[in-house]
Copies of this chain bind each other. A is one copy, B any other.
Amino acid sequence: MRDLRRCRSALSLNTATLGHRRAIEDVVDLCAERGFGAIAPWRRDLANRRTADLASRIRDRGLTVSGLCRSTDFTAPSAAGRQGAIDDNARALDVAAELGAACYVLVVGSLPVGERDIEDARRQARDGVAALAERAREAGVPLALEPLHPMMAADRSCLNTLAQALDWCEAIDPDRRGVLGVIVDAYHVWWDPDLAAGIARACREKRVLGFHVSDWLRITRDLVYDRGMMGDGVIDLRRLRGWLEAGGYAGPVEVEIFSSADWWTRPEEKVLDVCLERLLTVC
């Protein structure tokens, strides 16, 4: 396994971790000062500024962009709504390309309100990703399918396991042209009895585009916004990273913590300090 103290370029900060309270330019500077090597902004961070300016700043500070978050849901009640999502995601791909993002992160959506047919939602989402794949190839930005925890299956994502994400990759991109891969987010997949096998397969099939870390708190009070800092929960993060690196993964380790009642209430500088310390001691 890599010694992360010697791989600062691999240490990435997903801006959601700070709750989107500070301007992205400040966040870039704060990360660079502390020795992070990469950053993963959200589209909302980019509102009301020129992408090229932000891209320059990120480069100037010595950072790379480990990913751009995240897609508009591919599921919708109407065909027009689904096409609208594809078009919107295609525009985001152009932004990702201009930023030099290593991937565009896909959270695919799930059941439209009032619907119960999750198999149909899955077909819609997979068709949408397939339609976007060609645009991704043109833009030169790989699509990163992120399976979300099954507790988010009703409203956020009908893509819920690593195996399912890899099956979609094989169905949509059987020739493995580098256009489609997966994010392994520890929070979403840690519980999976087939995780070791899934990670081995993902590595073998050259699909791993990112590794996100946070922690599962034993007492979890909210289904979305109560993630823990690495080391404060039950996930054996180092074991997961070991599986990935045994399979050849050498990409970023990206902190992504949604924590409305805790970490998002603390000063950004302190949060970043703790993230970095835990990346080096726990992950």
**A interface residue numbers (CB < 8 A to B):** 111, 113, 115-118, 122, 149-151, 153-155, 160-161, 163-164, 190-193, 216-220, 223, 233-236
Contact = CB atoms under 8 A, between A and B. Distances in A.
Contacts of A233: 154
B218 A150 contact: no
Give 4 closest A-B pairs by Cβ, nearest first.
A153-B191, A151-B151, A150-B191, A116-B236
A218 B113 contact: yes
B218 A122 contact: no
A164 B191 CA distance: 12
Nearest to A215: B116
Nearest to A236: B116
Contact of A149 (B113, B151, B161, B163): B151
20 contacts: A113-B218, A118-B191, A118-B234, A118-B236, A122-B193, A149-B151, A150-B150, A151-B220, A151-B223, A153-B190, A153-B191, A153-B216, A154-B191, A154-B234, A155-B218, A160-B192, A160-B193, A163-B193, A220-B223, A223-B223
